[in-house]
Chains A and B, each alone.
Chain A
Amino acid sequence: MSAPGKSQLTGAAMAVILLIVLVQVYLFETVLGAVLDGQRLALPGAFGVSLALTAAALFLAFKVRGRSGRG
């Protein structure tokens, strides 16, 4: 039960956030493996992608009122 006045997170938004976290896990594991192999060229790009994904996840999770939000 969501409290009165709080928006309900849609299932689609939840699915997107879960997908983002899965991509982040895969991205971090890949980047860590590359760094351990001495390859650091991909780090700036990986950081940019990760930052964009995090921004999207934070936006979805913390936005005050969703499109389908209701009390």
Chain B
Amino acid sequence: MPGWKDLFPVDLADEGRLSRREFARFLAVVSAGFTVGIGWLWTRRRPLDGAPAAPGTRPEALKVCRVADLAPGNSFLFTYRDDRDRCILIHTPQGEWRAYRQTCTHLGCAVRWDGRRLECPCHNGAFEVEQGFPIQGPPTRPLSRLDLEIDPDGWVWIRGDLPKPGIAQEGAQS
């Protein structure tokens, strides 16, 4: 045996070796992590970003801006449920009004209005403005749309969450 092996007796090949049982234990701990994650989702009271508010927890109606202050084709950013609940109000070129949560349904980046559609700059996702359906890129679920109303005095009000289109309505009703 060479002299250096006496000085450094650690076998590097065995040092990095992972037994089947050790790997199985790692997988079991990963499995426990998923269970903890589901439990956290269950016990968490505040909805996740992008999710509609739980029944009975909607804030009061919010006065956002005056109709005259937002020309067709423009957008206005505001917060609704709390300071982190970023939303976007859009006055479409056709003269219609839409409001969505700004959170992309892919990985949560903030979408922005480009004059025709809502775009997510992170992964080139895009959503159409009528109902918030994804039309390009990785997102597969529509944006959360907010119910809005224009009062006789010319103010735009946000009233609450609309159910997402295309999914079962039981859990989303309030």
Q: Which residues of A contact B (CB under 8 A)?
A: 2, 6-9, 13-14, 17-18, 20-21, 24-25, 27-28, 31-41, 43-44, 46-47, 50-51, 53-54, 57-58, 60-62
Contacts and interface: CB of A to CB of B under 8 A. Distances in A.
Contact of A40 (B54, B141, B164): B54
Interface string B19-45: 111011101101110110111011000
A13 B25 CA distance: 11
A37 B164 contact: yes
B28 A54 contact: yes
Contacts of A58: 28, 31-32
Interface of B is mostly: helix
Interface residues of B, number: 34
Interface string B151-174: 000000000010110011011100
Interface string B127-151: 0000000000000010000000000
A49 to B, nearest CB: 9
Nearest to B167: A37
A48 B144 CA distance: 29
B11 to A, nearest CB: 11
Nearest to B171: A39
Interface of A is mostly: helix
Central interface residue in A13, A25, A57, by most chain B CB within 10 Å? A57
Contacts of B164: 37-38
A47 to B, nearest CB: 5
Nearest to B105: A36
B67 interface: no
Contacts of A20: 27, 31
28 contacts: A7-B21, A9-B24, A14-B23, A17-B31, A21-B27, A21-B30, A24-B30, A27-B34, A28-B38, A33-B141, A36-B50, A37-B164, A37-B167, A38-B51, A38-B54, A39-B167, A39-B168, A40-B42, A40-B171, A43-B38, A47-B39, A50-B34, A50-B35, A54-B28, A58-B28, A60-B24, A60-B28, A61-B27
